[in-house]
Amino acid sequence: MDLAENILLTQVGPGTPMGGLLRRHWMPIAGATEFGETDRIKPIRLMGEDLVLYKDLSGTFGLVQKECAHRRADLSYGFVEKCGIRCNYHGWAYDQTGQCVEMPFEDTVVPQAKYKDKICITAYPVKLHAGLVWAYLGPLPAPELPDWELFNFTNGFRQIVVSQIPCNWLQCQENSIDPVHFEWMHTNWSRRLVDITSEHGPKHLQVAFDSFEYGLVYRRQREDLPEDHTMWTVGRVCLWPNCFFLGDHFEWRVPVDDENTLSISWFYARVPREQEPYVQREIPTWHGPVVDPATGRWINTHVLNQDFIAWCGQGKIADRSREKLGLGDRGIQMLRRQLHDDLQAIERGEDPKGVIRDPSRARNIPLPNSERTYLAEGDTFAGIQAHRAFGAHLVRFVFQAGQPKAVWDQYCTAMGIVGAEIVSDDKVISI
């Protein structure tokens, strides 16, 4: 890849081609439970734009530009009203469409002027779904918000984890179509972190990549798995354009700007049959640290933290003009080609891959899911314990470091885990 192409695929600001492509999709930007009675306003930077996300006193979410239209004060220090957000400097107020609805001094002195009607700030549509706050920053009309099937599975304990990663979004997303790294980064490296003399884990023998309506799929054959294993017959999904779907969870890589990415993950754990029916009242959201304060180095103990190390290690914006692709990278090449196809579709005035316009097609969308049977139908506690992957989840949260104890406790209650020994978070998870 030459430098010009690397710039084309990584720049996300307003007016850039890739920024335009990504803006044509709904993006998860926060967990709804991050907003409580007192925590109602949050500054947020998305695709190079400084914005403010708020929940007003009626419970409506709004996403507006950071600067007040009046004299540019920071609206993230404003306060919410029954309808919308008010600037703390002179009290101008805006509703969720960005329309100025109150200009207290001007309204008092010359109410007939209706000056406020002429003032509107940038605002983007926001929706709540599956406990996530979603935003759409693209041209209107907005497409449908995809309702993935896993969001509707019952009897599950769900949690949302948010972290800011200091590198470009594309190197994070390329990780979603990279099966071989599991063997090295998550298995062999994890084992060696625990025991420097440990044996390597099972090898990949074959990988395959396919394209489907909502993304790409990778499949793997590993020497320890039978040929009819679902990792080979079904595989995992590089969900278009910036998500990784692994059967029991989603990982979105939402661009903050060219050099930062919001990692937003949504996890579903099916409770054992003995615990059914289980209804979760609300989905907890927590922020995962990425740096170990004791050493100043990246945390390396959990699956996603290990990925963060790979992504950030590639540089703020990976220089693809200096890489040497191997045979395991065919999926990466497919991903990049698809991005080019999408850019051309937009130039022709068409929707890029994965954009859904028909509301009836946006509901309960199934995705290839190698673990679908267990996640949809459940299993006994003993059955989960014996499961190759899910058994480990009963002992600790394996995906990201920093889970608050309160969330682990809620999970244990939901799963019917009694007297679980707390495993220290700084122990490497060996898989």
Binding site for Fe ion (CB under 5 A): 307
Contact indicator for 262, 254 with CB cutoff of 8 Å: yes
Decide if residue 87 touches ligand FES (CB under 6 A).
Answer: yes
Neighbours of 205 (CB within 10 A): 13
The CB-of-104 to ligand FES minimum distance in angstroms stands at 9
- 416 is in the binding site of which of Fe ion, ligand FES, none (Cβ under 5 to 8 A by kind)? none
Decide if residue 68 touches ligand FES (CB under 6 A).
Answer: yes
The CB-of-213 to Fe ion minimum distance in angstroms stands at 24
CB nearer to Fe ion: pick between 66 and 396: 396
Decide if residue 92 touches ligand FES (CB under 6 A).
Answer: yes
Decide if residue 77 touches ligand FES (CB under 6 A).
Answer: no
φ, ψ for residue 141, nearest 5 deg: -75, 145
Select the residue interacting with ligand FES from 40, 45, 90, 387 (CB under 6 A).
90
- 307 is in the binding site of which of Fe ion, ligand FES, none (Cβ under 5 to 8 A by kind)? Fe ion
The CB-of-70 to ligand FES minimum distance in angstroms stands at 3
The CB-of-74 to ligand FES minimum distance in angstroms stands at 9
- 311 is in the binding site of which of ligand FES, Fe ion, none (Cβ under 5 to 8 A by kind)? none
Please list the alpha-helical segments (H only) found in 94-251. 104-109, 169-174, 180-181, 189-194, 230-233
CB nearer to Fe ion: pick between 178 and 379: 178
CB nearer to Fe ion: pick between 11 and 263: 263
| Residue whose pair of structure tokens reads 């692709």 in the numeric block | 325
Q: Site for ligand FES (CB under 6 A): how many residues? A: 9
Please list the alpha-helical segments (H only) found in 301-351. 303-313, 330-347
CB nearer to ligand FES: pick between 50 and 351: 50
- 151 is in the binding site of which of Fe ion, ligand FES, none (Cβ under 5 to 8 A by kind)? none
CA neighbor of 399 nearest in space, from 231, 251, 295, 239: 251
C-alpha to C-alpha distance for 27 and 12, rounded to whole angstroms: 14
- 342 is in the binding site of which of Fe ion, ligand FES, none (Cβ under 5 to 8 A by kind)? none
Select the residue interacting with ligand FES from 79, 89, 298, 381 (CB under 6 A).
89
C-alpha to C-alpha distance for 44 and 106, rounded to whole angstroms: 30
The CB-of-9 to Fe ion minimum distance in angstroms stands at 21
Select the residue interacting with ligand FES from 3, 7, 39, 71 (CB under 6 A).
71
* SS3 at position 223: coil
Select the residue interacting with ligand FES from 70, 181, 287, 316 (CB under 6 A).
70
Q: Please list, in sequence order, all residues whose beta carbon lies within 8 angstroms of the beta carbon of residue 169, skipping any fewer than 6 positions away.
A: 10, 12, 22, 242, 253, 254, 255, 261
CA neighbor of 130 nearest in space, from 26, 11, 25, 2: 26
C-alpha to C-alpha distance for 29 and 252, rounded to whole angstroms: 9
CA neighbor of 217 nearest in space, from 254, 185, 247: 247
Q: CA triplet 326, 172, 373: central angle to 5 degrees?
A: 90
Decide if residue 73 touches ligand FES (CB under 6 A).
Answer: yes
Decide if residue 162 touches ligand FES (CB under 6 A).
Answer: no
- 287 is in the binding site of which of ligand FES, Fe ion, none (Cβ under 5 to 8 A by kind)? none
Among 83-91, 126-134, 263-271, 278-286, the segment contacting ligand FES (CB under 6 A): 83-91
The CB-of-61 to ligand FES minimum distance in angstroms stands at 21
CB nearer to Fe ion: pick between 69 and 332: 332
φ, ψ for residue 408, nearest 5 deg: -60, -40
Q: 3-10 vs 330-347: helix axis angle to the nearest 10? A: 70
| Residue whose pair of structure tokens reads 């244990």 in the numeric block | 412
CB nearer to Fe ion: pick between 326 and 419: 326
Binding site for ligand FES (CB under 6 A): 68, 70-71, 73, 87, 89-92
